[in-house]
Amino acid sequence: MHDLERLRLSLHPLERKVLPLLTGIKGIQDLVKESGLSDTEVRRALQWLGGKGLVEVNESGYLQVNLDSNGLRYARESLPERRFVVALKSGALTLDDVRNKSGLSDEEMNISVGILRRMGVIEIGKDLLVRLVREGPVSGELDSEVFLRKKFPLLLSSLGEHEKKVLDGLKSRKGIVRVDEVKDMRASILPLGSDVLKAGIDVDVIDRVTPDIIKSGSWKGKAFRRYDIHSNVPRVFGGRKQHYRRFLEEVRQKLLSMGFTEMNGPIVETEFWNMDALFMPQFHSARDIHDAYYVKVPKYSSDLPQALVSKVKAAHEHGVAGSRGWRYSFDVKRTHRHVLRTQDTSISPRILSSPELRVPGKYFQMVRCFRYDVIDATHLADFNQIGGFVVEEGINFRHLIGLLRLFAREFAETDEVRVVPAYFPFTEPSAAVYAKHPDMGWIELGGSGIFRPEMTHPLGVKAPVIAWGIGVERLGMFRLGLKDIRQLFSHDLEFLRSVKVV
């Protein structure tokens, strides 16, 4: 199709209205008057015409003086200082009387007193009475009153020196005048525009496809207005999953596919399940790594399995299964103390002691945990932990290493792992695993160990149990390319809408 034809068919109704009016250089105001369109409609039309190369548009800014809310009122009524003077016409008054008589606000009173004193019109005597001492300056119209009677908006550039001073005076007062910057457009038609105009713009094009047009078939034989497919459109945002949760779901899916069953436990735990049942001694530094949040009410739980508590107490005090135990006096009251869960492993003893435990079995949990800690770029008030265990007759440390290798393959896409000695109070032996991710380099993937017999025997489990945990926050940050851990729980909508889906 010929360019000229294409252009003719692409004109929007607004453009068709404005283009014929451009017989010389025209400003917005002229075009508004001549077209009967609104200011914005004219501006949009000029922008589009300019974009198509039909019109040359020069934008320039100018400053315009407008009356503000108080100014509009004062122009209608009168200025406060005038009303102040009028109130005093019949003789001296106290300030309170002036206020009542004139109906001025406190703020207006203050301004009026200031102005009139400066002009030497009023005086406030020792008797606190205000009286007119010199009426001369206010006998005629004040400069500011003259100014307010002008026709607004005013072009700032059209004001003389004296008027500018008056304006400055009014600008210093609240809400009388304001100076706005207005973008003006001056447009003139270009040769291409003239050509289009000559070719005729009064073409019968269909603007929008409507149900009526389709039903009646009236579109047949007509052209549709051509759109500028490059013009900007408003942004839209879709519904989407939270980025970190999406990653956590992916981890869950991987664990399910590896044959792990999900477990759960409560946010408000007892010291029993959270630590004691894990054979973490009550009065030992091993416990310090878990500074817990204690619950105010109720302080103590009343539903712990007492037989199990006794067995755990015995294991702590003098050992079980060939162990000498921690050799201290176990505090039964303290074991009932409510804390917010400090570690996901608190769920393991619940499942291990449950009649529903299946041996062999593989279990995992992904839960929120809480520790008494300062919140910064590397620590959150809450954090997610993922961990679990494998229970099976005859498994040993070699299987543990095998499991860690499997995790490295699944979660860090690598066969290159480093398994090193570590310490967890409830496992022996204990190991930490580092994996060399193809992009991220060496990362600490998690920890693992074989639950101590002193822990598993009181729970009624004789088979070996390999416990494991994944450092999921760190892994998530790596995967999502985040630097600050707080971005995992970001409240920044712009970020949430745009963070890369991985």
Instruction: List binders of other proteins among 330-389 (CB under 8 A).
Output: 338, 340, 358, 360-362, 368, 370, 372-375, 380-382
Contact 131, 92 (CB under 8 A): yes
- Angstrom distance (rounded) from CA 424 to CA 271: 17
Instruction: Compare residues 94 and 396 and give the one whose CB is closer to other proteins.
Output: 396
Question: Smallest distance, Å, CB 403 to other proteins?
Answer: 6
Find the angle CA(291)-CA(293)-CA(297) to the nearest 5 degrees.
150
Pull the structure tokens for residue 287: 């416990």
Asked if 285 is part of the footprint of other proteins (rule: CB under 8 A), the reply reads yes
Instruction: Compare residues 89 and 500 and give the one whose CB is closer to other proteins.
Output: 500
Exactly one of 51, 259, 305, 460 binds other proteins (CB under 8 A); that residue is 259
Asked if 261 is part of the footprint of other proteins (rule: CB under 8 A), the reply reads yes
Exactly one of 267, 376, 409, 416 binds other proteins (CB under 8 A); that residue is 267
User: In whole angstroms, how far apart are CA 167 and each of 75, 161, 177?
Assistant: 14, 10, 8
Residues 6+ apart with CB under 8 A from 324: 318
Question: Smallest distance, Å, CB 6 to other proteins?
Answer: 34
45 membership: H or E segment, kind and range: helix 39-51
Which class for 425: exposed (0-12), middle (13-18), buried (19 or more C-beta within 10 A)? buried
Binding mask 293-312 for other proteins (x = CB under 8 A): xxxxxxx--x----------
Give, as ranges, the residues between 165 and 184 that touch other proteins (CB under 8 A): none
Pull the structure tokens for residue 245: 């949760």
Asked if 501 is part of the footprint of other proteins (rule: CB under 8 A), the reply reads no
Asked if 328 is part of the footprint of other proteins (rule: CB under 8 A), the reply reads yes
Among 419, 413, 420, which Cα is nearest to 439's?
Answer: 413
Instruction: Compare residues 78 and 282 and give the one whose CB is closer to other proteins.
Output: 282
Contact 97, 191 (CB under 8 A): no
Question: Smallest distance, Å, CB 236 to other proteins?
Answer: 9
Asked if 255 is part of the footprint of other proteins (rule: CB under 8 A), the reply reads yes
Contact 406, 390 (CB under 8 A): no
Q: Residue type at 121? A: V
Give, as ranges, the residues between 37 and 56 that touch other proteins (CB under 8 A): none
Which class for 186: exposed (0-12), middle (13-18), buried (19 or more C-beta within 10 A)? middle
- Angstrom distance (rounded) from CA 199 to CA 27: 25
Pull the structure tokens for residue 40: 């914005």
Asked if 418 is part of the footprint of other proteins (rule: CB under 8 A), the reply reads yes
Asked if 27 is part of the footprint of other proteins (rule: CB under 8 A), the reply reads no
Which class for 77: exposed (0-12), middle (13-18), buried (19 or more C-beta within 10 A)? exposed
Give, as ranges, the residues between 199 and 218 that touch other proteins (CB under 8 A): none
Question: How many of the chain's residues bind other proteins (CB under 8 A)?
Answer: 99
Asked if 477 is part of the footprint of other proteins (rule: CB under 8 A), the reply reads no
Question: Smallest distance, Å, CB 270 to other proteins?
Answer: 11
Asked if 136 is part of the footprint of other proteins (rule: CB under 8 A), the reply reads no
Residues 6+ apart with CB under 8 A from 58: 185, 186, 187
Residue range at the interface with other proteins (CB under 8 A); choices 22-30, 40-48, 131-139, 262-270: 262-270
Per-residue DSSP letters for 385-401?
Answer: EEEEEEE-TT--HHHHH
- Angstrom distance (rounded) from CA 188 to CA 25: 5
Give, as ranges, the residues between 432 and 461 that touch other proteins (CB under 8 A): 450, 452-454
Exactly one of 114, 180, 223, 237 binds other proteins (CB under 8 A); that residue is 237
Question: Smallest distance, Å, CB 323 to other proteins?
Answer: 4
Exactly one of 314, 332, 429, 440 binds other proteins (CB under 8 A); that residue is 429
- Strands 223-224 and 205-206 come out as parallel
Asked if 496 is part of the footprint of other proteins (rule: CB under 8 A), the reply reads yes
Q: Where are the alpha helices (DSSP H) in 303-369?
A: 306-318, 332-335, 347-352
- Angstrom distance (rounded) from CA 247 to CA 476: 7
Exactly one of 94, 100, 158, 264 binds other proteins (CB under 8 A); that residue is 264
Instruction: Compare residues 1 and 297 and give the one whose CB is closer to other proteins.
Output: 297
Instruction: Compare residues 361 and 387 and give the one whose CB is closer to other proteins.
Output: 361
Instruction: Compare residues 45 and 455 and give the one whose CB is closer to other proteins.
Output: 455
Residue range at the interface with other proteins (CB under 8 A); choices 57-65, 71-79, 216-224, 321-329: 321-329
Return the bridge partners of 466, or none: 390, 450
Question: Smallest distance, Å, CB 477 to other proteins?
Answer: 14
Question: Smallest distance, Å, CB 449 to other proteins?
Answer: 9
Question: Smallest distance, Å, CB 171 to other proteins?
Answer: 28
Asked if 30 is part of the footprint of other proteins (rule: CB under 8 A), the reply reads no
